[in-house]
Structure 1
């Protein structure tokens, strides 16, 4: 293989700088271009410089600078921030050399006021714009605390064991923490233990032998190993070290182990957890108060309690006894001393207190409390009453310990000693017979003529004996007597007494008080409203007779007011029986014959009781009082149809269509024929009804539904289309039209139908909800979610939309969404129902039941809530809770709800009762997940 010889390459010559090797120009200073000007000394500017030297502009005096350089300096601008002006820049204003006079100041002030005024005008706009920008920014970029708010709320339910089981967070960069290795333990050899049994003490290590010198005795693996001796040696060594620390150490005293805790107790460190310095300051302050004013009992009590709190009970006892010596007439000191002493010594102290202050009720009561036997207590109280016969407290305490016979005797003596005590008079009256009780109450009225309780008790006594006529007289006399004695009659206090009489089952007294005092102090214009409010309040408090008496009195004053009759009838329906309701309604229709509701309530009561002829007769009388009344016509039709009298129902409807033609009458006529499966007759009636009432949306919907049932989808769609043209504001009609398009498989057509409906009916949550559900049913959740967000922007307080939004979210975000929904519409029943279902899905059964009850309290007419609640009780409740839900639902008679109406308004279920509908709806509902 031939080799090519290497060709030598000559090095490339670097260009040479032109100034290298040439002399420096005159006046050149090295580094001046970089700012390195060096130092200036006296020799640079003094006489040491020769006059023939080349001048240096750096150090030339100002008068020798060149004219050119002076001009450059004058032209150079000062770019400092302090020289900057907002209007004139760095150069300064053209007029900054002129004087600043009052005119300039006034002009500046006027301009400043103008600026402030303009700023105030734009302030609201700026704040609104800034708030909108912040809200938009927070919606796009929520804070971390908002993103994890649901997790933070869940922390409140974490138990202590779960907190303790949370693992420690290590440093991810630390390899040892990420991959921990198991610790290795090497057992100590027996030879090491054996070496320490020699008993020799080694304090130094021999350099020649190294560590072997620390274990004298050599290796004795075959020797006996006594572990007990090792423990003894360890204890001995520890005691020696402790003695060395506690004995002779420079600057230290010997520690007394027994006296150490005693010394701590003098500062109160045994039981008090506060600062010892605070205790010292309090002691000094209280000592100063005691010395300055030893006759002040509060200082002694405070000092004793301070010592008690700090654990020095004996010191506290000594202090309080010294205070008792200084102030023997202070019952507070004696009672405090008795409290601090043991029971045996406390009796002796109370005995001393009784000798010093025998008229102290509290001291005698304490003496009785210290006795353990009832006999001894009675003896103490009787001794006390000898010294203080006018003490009501002692009489009451003594009477409580006696038997009824002895109590009567004591009460007789008590009212003599304390004639102004109403309680003692009333207690004596309760123990006496009827005749003696009347005498006692008469004496009580003579001694205390200003108390209304005695009069009320007298009325109760007469009512208990069956003297009902005397009750009204006693209450009337009470009012006149109290007024003559200058007592101010308070209406609210008398109503409270009436409620108490109602709860005590003294109904006649309650009615008498209501009759005499319900209108006291009221103007004629405000009586009706206040009486209805009082009746409702009494009903809420459980005073049924009070409420009934108020309604009775109000109807006696205003017999022609329909509103009062309706409320009274509703009250009797809820709290009374059927007979009282029918009696009230008979009176009502006699005073208000033009009130259709009262007639219908009476007819319904008879019908529910099974008396159909009586119901017919009531409706016949109602026809005479209210001819051509739509409500009465339809009530008669319903009565006949519910009792399978279809021929009579058809005749009544025909008469109604002839005499009182209304859209509702046509709707009921069509519905009856539809329910009886007379489809052709129903369609004929629909055609006639639509000619007479083309703007009745229900007729269009019924015709479309009948055609839809007959599989005539095209005709049903045309019917709905014609209905939307005539009734463009009917939301259910638009929804039915979109659903039939969806049923025909035309999803795009269904969307466009709802879009057109939203254009004609903007901000309607039902249309938005149907649009969202169409996308969900089609499996297009990615389209449904932004549409839901847009719907919430247009209808921010819509409960159905927020309820839908909660379950559209994933499980992790549902709780946060529910919180937002409750903020927007707190009292909406749909949101409360959704929250209940959310708790149900999380298996929080107690909270779920609580929220169901809350939703039903706000809106009992929503059938979906009843159905979900009943299904919940079927799965997780008892038979009692299930029957209670059914009972409450029957009383509420719900009418609304998407799932409820779907089954309740089905023609197949037109004769089913409310409890049957409830069961059917509950069975059709899914379990929330």
Structure 2
């Protein structure tokens, strides 16, 4: 029974299940039951308003937009189905992967790569001999690009073609014969065969059959008129490209390539090629001239200017530069500038003379004769005429109103020296050195001239300049010293002796000249001559402490202790007399040297007497306190030595050696606690003292307090941020991962410090980078040649890593430098047993000490 039509939109009863009466209770859908919403209080309003079951109907998913109205149900369902898919996929994964692997293997076996096909043959290449390798032919061009299909076949040439070729070769058509000339036919066949062979030879791998020089002529007459000529251009372009790529330093190849592009109408490409050629072949004048021709006229001058800068002695380029100028005045200036670079060029002189008027030409030729005539006279042996010719010539030029260019004439003097005309060089310098220089600026200007000439290697010109300076400034000590140092560096021993003899003659009150003269005699092995010079110096400058000490050193170093004693006794007597008269006079070193002599002779009591006597006169001279304390230590009187050091510090509180000596003595007597107290007091009395900070750091490190040593070093770098010795210690103490950061910080703070450069050298040495290590260690000795510790490290490095020549060269330079300072160097050089040892022996002993120190450090590390 059907319900009335009017009730279709009515809401169904509560708990109504569609089809329940027909036995459909097992499965119902939302489309059957409608919205699953329970009626609550207030739903009567909905009943009254009416209910439309299709109000939420979706055409795709039905009522309530899907099976589950809530989105949480949808997410839960998706998650469940995903788990199911993963489970099923894991069951089939192994079978699927094995099947895919089998398919890939079958495909690779049926379609192997080219490299895999020859694996077995490649393995056999190991057994091939050199002869078999040489027999392998070169690979050719087997590509299919730009090749015709099939084989090129050759057949007999038709007689008509040969007859046509014969006719084209003949010049006299009046005698043409109707019979075929077999000789001409043969020549035509030969010509065609030669053309074929040329084509074949062009394709030979590695063979270039184009002569680039020949192309320079052919390309100028080439005119493109047909496709065949265009093809020839392409072939020539490829061949010239090969030429400039295989040999980029071959200038004719670049010129030919540029001209080919010019003929082809590609002028920009030609300019680009010739510009590249100028960069590859800057010393070839033809490339620059070709570039000058190809570029825009506005750029030609700039190009030729770069050319003459690259090749300043090229006459051809200077002439080209002159032709670019349209004004005769400017052209003449260009040529004269070229003459400054090439003064003996006949071509340039001729061009300059042609541009000048008659009077200017005479002056130019007169100047040329002025530079040539003295050389000719000197070559003939008439050196007395050289100076007169130069003076007269310059006077004549000045009379004509010619301005004398001092710089140009100085260059002329250097040119004369290079030509071997020393007398001409000296005459030119003497004549023009004072021109254009104010009197008050002369000595400074002349020293600058001498320095520049010395840098350029013009030794005779420099010597002539110093001669002129000495002639005008005989009473200046610096003049004599610079001249003597120049002769010592570049002259002979005789020339040096000559300068020094003149120096002490004109400047008898200059101690430094007497001392230098005596030292050079001593170094030459002439001790009596050195002794005589010092006696003359004492007569010229009585009561001179420097001369007395030099005389003492001469006798002491030559194992003459009694002579040394007598000199020092006389010096002490004079010193006491002068001090009694309240005259200012040094003298403290006299007592120090006197004590050194007695210490070497083993007279301890006399040494103590002299030190006590010296301290009465000079209580603020810390070296006397230091020597007295060391004397007490050597005799085992440690408490007395402590008293001496403490008393010395009351008079010399800023003496770092006294503080360090007291700290070392406290370490021997009382241990580390006293050392800390001493060094703390020392740092408070002497703030920002890197040596005292470093001593504290080392003391803590040796005592095993590594953490305390690191803290002290950090505080030290805060107080002394630019100390090289502290940064060097920081580099050595830094752990390996932090060394790079520490070295960067050290370099930024004090990059030119010799301690830092030496530390860098040792670091590179440790990392087996020998070239960098050698460079840094050599830089250290260059920065501080008087510090023996750096020489010791460098010599040890060369002994272990260098050649025999290298370590001998280091030894020679060290002896010449005469180092005197350095913590480890002074400890060895000032020992009693090494007082007369040469520098070579001191260097070797210091290296031995470094090796022993490394062994001890290694043993302590293992312990």
Cα deviation for residue 503 of structure 1 reads 3.7
In the alignment, structure 1 residue 598 sits paired with structure 2 residue 513: yes
User: Using a 3 Å threshold, how does the CA distance of structure 1 residues 184 and 628 change in structure 2: closer, same or farther?
Assistant: farther
Query: Once the two structures are superposed, what CA deviation does each residue of 1:203-257 show, in whole Å capped at 9, x if it has no partner?
Result: xxxxxxxxxxxxxxxxxxxxxxxxxxxx9xxxxxxxxxxxxxxxxxxxxxxxxx9
Whether 2:829 is the aligned partner of 1:904: answer yes
Measure how far apart 1:419 and its partner are.
Answer: 13
Match of 2:486 in 1: 571
Specify the alignment match of 1:809 in structure 2.
Answer: 734
1:550 aligns to what? 465
Instruction: Give the conservation status (yes or no) of the 8 Å contact 2:363–2:397.
Output: no
The answer on whether the counterparts of 2:538 and 2:544 sit within 8 Å (CA) in structure 1 is: yes
1:217-616 to structure 2, matched below 5 A, reads 313-314=233-234, 338-340=259-261, 393=316, 426=344, 449=364, 455-616=370-531
Pick one of 828, 831, 835 that aligns with 2:760.
835
- Mind listing any 5+ residue stretches in structure 1 that lack a counterpart? 1-22, 24-181, 197-230, 232-256, 262-299, 305-309, 318-333, 343-360, 367-390, 398-417, 430-442
What displacement does 1:492 show? 2.6
Q: CA 1:576/1:259 → structure 2, altered by over 3 Å: closer, same or farther?
A: closer
1:682 alignment counterpart: 607
CA contact (8 A) 1:420 1:447 kept: no
In the alignment, is the contact (CA less than 8 A) between 1:765 and 1:798 conserved in 2? Answer: yes
In the TM superposition, residue 923 of structure 1 has moved relative to its aligned partner by 2.2
Of 742, 763, 780, 2:705 maps to 780
> Is residue 666 of structure 2 the alignment partner of residue 751 of structure 1?
no
The answer as to 2:789 corresponding to 1:874 is no
How many correspondences in the alignment? 559
**Alpha-carbon distance between aligned partners in 1 of 2:338 and 2:107, rounded to the nearest angstrom:** 93
The one-character-per-residue Cα deviations of 1:640-671 (angstroms, maximum 9, x if unpaired) are 12222221211111110010251110000001
In 2, the alpha carbon distance for the partners of 1:636 and 1:584 equals: 22
SS across alignment from 1:819 = helix
Contact 1:839 1:847 (8 Å CA) reproduced: yes
Deviation of 1:793 (Å): 1.2
Equivalent-residue separation in structure 2 for 1:620 and 1:880 (angstroms): 42
**How far apart are 1:631 and its partner, in Å?**
0.7
Query: Equivalents in 2 of 1:719, 1:394: separation in Å?
Result: 81
Does the aligned pair in 2 maintain the 1:864–1:899 contact within 8 Å?
Answer: yes
Tell me by how many angstroms 1:540 deviates: 2.6
Distance 1:258 1:647 in 2: 101
Q: Distance in 2 between matches of 1:712 and 1:466?
A: 78
- Aligned CA RMSD, in angstroms, stands at 4.4
Deviations, residues 360-381 of structure 1 (Å, cap 9, x unaligned)? x999x99xxxxxxxxxxxxxxx
1:688-723 deviation per Cα after TM superposition (whole angstroms, max 9, x unaligned) = 111222111000000111111222222111111111
Please report the TM-score for the alignment, with normalisation by the length of structure 1.
0.54
Native 8 Å contact 1:629 1:660 kept in 2: no
Q: CA deviation at 1:339?
A: 3.8
1:862 is displaced (CA, Å) by 1.7
Aligned to 1:668: 593
User: Deviation of residue 627 (structure 1)?
Assistant: 0.7
The answer for the alignment partner of 1:884 in structure 2 is: 809
How many Å apart are 1:312 and its aligned residue? 10
SS at match of 1:598: helix
| 1:820 paired to 2:745 | yes
Q: 1:634–1:665: 8 Å Cα contact kept in structure 2?
A: yes
Q: Whole-Å Cα distance in 1 between the matches of residues 670 and 571 of structure 2?
A: 42
Question: Could you report, residue by residue, the CA deviation over 1:348-392 in whole angstroms, capped at 9, with x for unpaired residues?
Answer: xxxxxxxxxxxxx999x99xxxxxxxxxxxxxxxxxxxxxxxx98
Contact 1:510 1:545 in 2 (8 A): yes
Instruction: Render the CA deviation track for 1:605-647: whole Å, top value 9, x for unaligned.
Output: 2222222222221111111111111011111111112222221
**What is the CA distance between 1:445 and its match in structure 2?**
10
Q: Between Structure 1 and Structure 2, which shows a larger proportion of helix residues?
A: 2
C-alpha displacement of 1:674: 0.6
Please say if residues 852 and 865 of structure 1, whose CA atoms lie closer than 8 Å, have aligned partners that are also in contact: yes
TM-score, with normalisation over the residues of structure 2? 0.58
2:639 and 2:336 map into 1 onto residues whose CA distance is 95
CA drift at 1:746: 1.9
C-alpha distance in 1 between matches for 2:653 and 2:631: 21
Task: Specify the SS of the correspondent of 1:812.
Answer: helix
CA distance in structure 2 between the aligned counterparts of 1:850 and 1:485, rounded to whole angstroms: 58
Superposition deviation, residue 560 in structure 1:
0.5
Provide the residue aligned with 1:731 in structure 2. 656
Deviation at 1:313, TM superposition (A): 4.4
